[in-house]
């Protein structure tokens, strides 16, 4: 059986995208999903995303990590599926869709997609790091030697260590470049390696930098290995709301693969 797929990327965070409105894709076949994401034996991607029908909204997003397991929210994936829905003619410039963490709004303008993220009601400040959930759990810590840091080695120790253990966390390393610009490198659980960009990760970094006083700006630029993203937000009564993740989402190619 031939499976038609699309490949999308958002600042180097890449995804296999499949139109599953006819429910023809086997979502329980973990090994096959992992094979599709494999960069040597499959298509190659940080994750796989299914676009499905929704009874009230424009569509539903179902996201799988590269290991084949369904995962928590993926911000760049949310931006890429919005671009995919536009390509399929499901939406024009605006979208409302459901993801694993709830309802999202999105706006598309050419190759730039703005995705509204969930409110953040809790930010845990520790001596050496900040922890918060932006749809996925994120550990955020400052690192001056960010360019030389062995992200996979250091990130995996934090990801599996105390207090995260089996559930694990994503790990973000940050260097301040100016008042409202920060460099970010991210170790992603499920991928179990550094990715070129992480949408929920840069969202977590932006909020963490504001919360810890590293910036006074509520529009922050994040420089990732795959390109630049921006995050805007408001803070009222201790709650971060009206959070938007902004950046490019691009179709790379369309193809078929034996399934």
pLDDT digits (tens, 9 = 90+) for 48-101: 999 999 999 999 999 999 999 999 999 999 999 999 999 999 999 999 999 999
Q: Residue ranges of the domains in the chain?
A: 2-115+249-258, 123-246
Nearest to 104 by CA among 125, 79, 133, 131: 79
pLDDT(1) > 90: no
CATH superfamily of 123-246: Diaminopimelate Epimerase; Chain A, domain 1 (3.10.310.10)
pLDDT class of 259 with cuts at 50, 70, 90: confident
pTM of the predicted model over 0.75: yes
Q: pLDDT tens digit string along 120-155?
A: 999 999 999 999 999 999 999 999 999 999 999 999
74 catalytic? Reply is: yes
Mean per-residue pLDDT over the chain, rounded: 97
**Distance in angstroms (rounded) separating the CA atoms of residues 255 and 65:** 20
Tokens in use for 1? 């059986």
80 catalytic? Reply is: no
Average pLDDT over residues 181-198: 96
* The one catalytic residue among 113, 198, 220, 249: 198
* The one catalytic residue among 36, 74, 123, 206: 74
Q: Are 28 and 103 in contact (CB under 8 A)?
A: no
**What is the predicted pLDDT for the residue at 186?**
98
CATH superfamily of 2-115+249-258: Diaminopimelate Epimerase; Chain A, domain 1 (3.10.310.10)
**What is the predicted pLDDT for the residue at 19?**
98
Same CATH fold, 123-246 and 2-115+249-258? yes
């Amino acid at each position: 059986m031939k499976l038609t797929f699309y490949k999308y990327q958002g600042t180097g965070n890449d995804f296999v995208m499949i139109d599953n409105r006819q429910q023809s894709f086997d979502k329980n076949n973990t090994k096959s999903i992992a094979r599709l994401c494999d960069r040597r034996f499959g298509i190659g991607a940080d994750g796989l995303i299914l676009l499905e029908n929704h009874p009230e909204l424009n569509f539903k997003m179902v996201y799988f990590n590269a290991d084949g397991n369904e995962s928590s929210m993926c911000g760049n994936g949310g931006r890429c599926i919005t671009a995919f829905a536009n390509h399929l003619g499901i939406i024009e410039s605006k979208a409302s869709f459901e993801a694993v963490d709830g309802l999202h709004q999105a706006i598309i303008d050419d190759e730039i997609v703005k995705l509204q993220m969930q409110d953040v009601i809790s930010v845990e400040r520790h001596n050496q790091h900040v922890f918060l959930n932006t749809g996925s759990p994120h550990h955020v810590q400052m690192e001056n030697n960010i360019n030389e840091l062995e992200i996979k080695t250091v990130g995996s120790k934090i990801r599996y260590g105390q207090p995260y253990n089996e559930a694990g966390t994503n790990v973000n390393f940050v260097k301040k470049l100016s008042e409202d610009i920060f460099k970010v490198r991210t170790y992603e659980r499920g991928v179990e390696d550094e990715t070129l960009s992480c949408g929920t990760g840069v969202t977590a970094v932006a909020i963490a930098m504001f919360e810890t006083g590293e910036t006074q700006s509520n529009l922050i630029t994040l420089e990732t290995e795959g390109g630049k993203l921006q995050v805007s937000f408001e803070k009222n009564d201790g709650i971060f709301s009206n959070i938007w993740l902004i950046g490019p989402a691009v179709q790379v190619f369309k193809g078929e693969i034996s399934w």
